Structure 1
Amino acid sequence: MSPSPAELARIGLSWQPSGQAALRGPLLALAEDCDRAFVRLAGLWRAREERHPCSLPAERLQRVGYLRSFPHQASFAARLSPEEADLEAFLDGPVVDEHGALAQARLSPLSEVLTPAACYHVFSDRLGHSLAGPEFVTTRNSCFRREREYVPLRRLSGFTMREVVCLGTGADTAEFLRLAREALELFFPLAGLEPQWHPATDPFFRPRENPRYLLQRVDPVKYEAIYGGDLAIASTNRHHDHFGTGFGLTLDGRPVHSACVAFGLERWLFALTDRHGTDPERWPSLEAAAAKVCAELGGGAP
């Protein structure tokens, strides 16, 4: 039986109706153990750690068609108009209306999109670069997506994503995904989880009108590790040269290919507490499990 809201609150979950979660105590410690484990797995490729902001320029995301493909999920960094008259009009009003929403106000142009997936920054930060060889990166970010409903730890408007990203040739990305799948199939049982791999498609707006959705149906490039029949806790993604072309990334004069492995930390908290309960003494050490996987596969330190 899944932990009740009261049980999750007892071990450190504070849930907001907006679909965001605050963590403290045992649950926060478990989240950090999860993240250390994923960083340890990234050591299989000696992936370099990167840190990025919580938003990207809309122009950068539109280079790869994000806003046309996923307008229903996009969240924006909005600011009030800096004009003094507009600020005075805002202050003269109620500021917050009877529903708790910001009262109508003039806004500055919306130019920043809150991070939808951690890997976008890796490509955007290398805009126009020519790579000397394959690169492996790991990064963690707060990500934001609008959903029809929000469920504690399972589906959030703001959540934490850890990714490992490969940039290189098509052969480089194929080998990266092969090793990633092998590593995860060793790691999952050590974590006490038994997710099933399923092909998946990205959540396109009006999918049947989007050629990228149709291509994903014909040639699956996304696989999700599904826990409990309906919860994706990890995914592997092959991008071909989509991001390399969109961001002008080249290797040996050709557009870079890329692939990534993604983990949703809050979903892992749900799966682990659902499987092992809410007593921290019963939780496995995920970092130790990841170290065991790396030792078996001969991976280097992160």
Structure 2
Amino acid sequence: MTGLAELTGLGLRWETSGQAGLTGPLLALADGCDRAFRTIASRWHAQEEAYPMTLPAASLGGHLRSFPHQVTFAAALDPADANLAGFADGPVVDASGTVALTGTAPVTEVLTPAACHHVYRAHRGERLAQATYVTTRSTCFRRERQYEPLRRQWTFAMREIVCLGTAEETASFLDEACTMTDRFAGLVDVPVDWVAATDTFFRPDRHPGHLLQRIQAVKHEAVYGGSLALGSANLHHDHFGSAYDITRGGGRASTACLAFGLERWLYALVDRHGLDPAGWPDLDAAAMRAVAR
């Protein structure tokens, strides 16, 4: 397994809080991965959209109940002068590195947990005349029990391709998306296996979403090395179409997404092809060939 020392030599700047900075060869490889995934998105003429860093908590009620252990909130101090003075006159940060907060303002925003949530909110109320495809890249935030460089992080980059359409259109999209991912992975010699998966729900024994994923297998992960999910294919049926009043073909729209974790792809490529960038595959050429077939 490729370790921290080797990755640091390639341009990883690792923070024990579970965050990574990149420079040099790894930054160039990350740019190449994202270009490749955008090329894959071009197969569906997916429209590029960019979104803020946060989402309104009011739009994520179900997510907050399902994954409270993973959520990062955007918090700020109560702006009252006395509260700000109490903070400024206090230790501010204690010996353990913990911020000595005084009163906080109401928390209304959540740092992005998954890129696709922005897409559904942005297309709220739309009446789709045809299947709609969107691609976006977001910095995502998920708290974990422990962190591993490039493999499991608090913050990470996610590139997604999202389909909004009928049940048939979203199912067809996912079939082709998985095939396209297989082609690309094969061309860059990063073997993956598609595995039915369930999200790490809070209290899964009593959560209906956990049971649904087990029965209907609505989430599949592209797994490298037996344990590292490089991406996922997700079918949401009409869950988000109903939540955001999006329709297609006279009924609630179905949605599906293909998600790539950029840092995890970096890890897999280095682990598979070694520490010399000269031996790394041509990602642009591989993506073009994957789409051309």
TM-score (structure 1 length as normaliser): 0.95
TM-score (structure 2 length as normaliser): 0.98
Could you say which residue in structure 2 is the equivalent of 1:224?
221
1:96-115 alpha-carbon deviations (Å, 9 max, x no partner): 01101101311111100000
1:136-182 alpha-carbon deviations (Å, 9 max, x no partner): 00000000001000000000000000000000000000110111111
Contact 2:163 2:256 in 1 (8 A): yes
Question: Which sections of structure 2, spanning at least 5 residues, go unmatched?
Answer: none
2:167 to 151, 170, 191: 170
Once the 2 structures are TM-superposed, how far is the Cα of residue 67 of structure 1 from its aligned partner? 0.6
Query: CA separation in 2, counterparts of 1:211 and 1:111?
Result: 26
Once the 2 structures are TM-superposed, how far is the Cα of residue 122 of structure 1 from its aligned partner? 0.2
Query: CA separation in 2, counterparts of 1:291 and 1:279?
Result: 24
What does 1:1-302 correspond to in 2, within 5 Å?
A: 2-62=1-61, 65-296=62-293
- Structure of higher RCO (CA pairs closer than 8 Å, 6+ residues apart): 1
SS of equivalent to 1:259: strand
Contact 1:13 1:21 in 2 (8 A): yes
Query: CA separation in 2, counterparts of 1:242 and 1:192?
Result: 36
Most deviating of 4-13 and 255-264: 4-13
1:40-73 alpha-carbon deviations (Å, 9 max, x no partner): 00011010101011110001112xx111111111
Once the 2 structures are TM-superposed, how far is the Cα of residue 200 of structure 1 from its aligned partner? 0.3
Query: CA separation in 1, counterparts of 2:130 and 2:187?
Result: 34
SS of equivalent to 1:109: coil
Once the 2 structures are TM-superposed, how far is the Cα of residue 253 of structure 1 from its aligned partner? 3.2
Query: CA separation in 1, counterparts of 2:35 and 2:265?
Result: 13
Q: Which aligned segments of 4 or more residues in structure 1 are displaced greater than 3 angstroms?
A: none
SS of equivalent to 2:73: coil
Query: CA separation in 2, counterparts of 1:221 and 1:9?
Result: 37
Contact 1:236 1:262 in 2 (8 A): yes
Could you say which residue in structure 2 is the equivalent of 1:299?
none
SS of equivalent to 1:74: coil
* Amino acid paired to 2:284: E
Most deviating of 190-199 and 122-131: 122-131
* Amino acid paired to 1:290: A
Query: CA separation in 2, counterparts of 1:274 and 1:52?
Result: 32
Contact 1:3 1:278 in 2 (8 A): no
SS of equivalent to 2:278: helix
Query: CA separation in 1, counterparts of 2:193 and 2:216?
Result: 19
* Amino acid paired to 2:133: F
Aligned residues: 293
Once the 2 structures are TM-superposed, how far is the Cα of residue 251 of structure 1 from its aligned partner? 1.7
Query: CA separation in 2, counterparts of 1:209 and 1:107?
Result: 32
Contact 1:55 1:113 in 2 (8 A): yes
Question: Which sections of structure 1, spanning at least 5 residues, go unmatched?
Answer: 297-302
SS of equivalent to 1:175: helix
SS of equivalent to 1:97: coil
* Amino acid paired to 1:53: P
Query: CA separation in 2, counterparts of 1:160 and 1:166?
Result: 20
1:172-217 alpha-carbon deviations (Å, 9 max, x no partner): 0011011111111211111111111110011110111001111111
Q: Percent sequence identity over matched residues?
A: 54
* Amino acid paired to 2:234: N
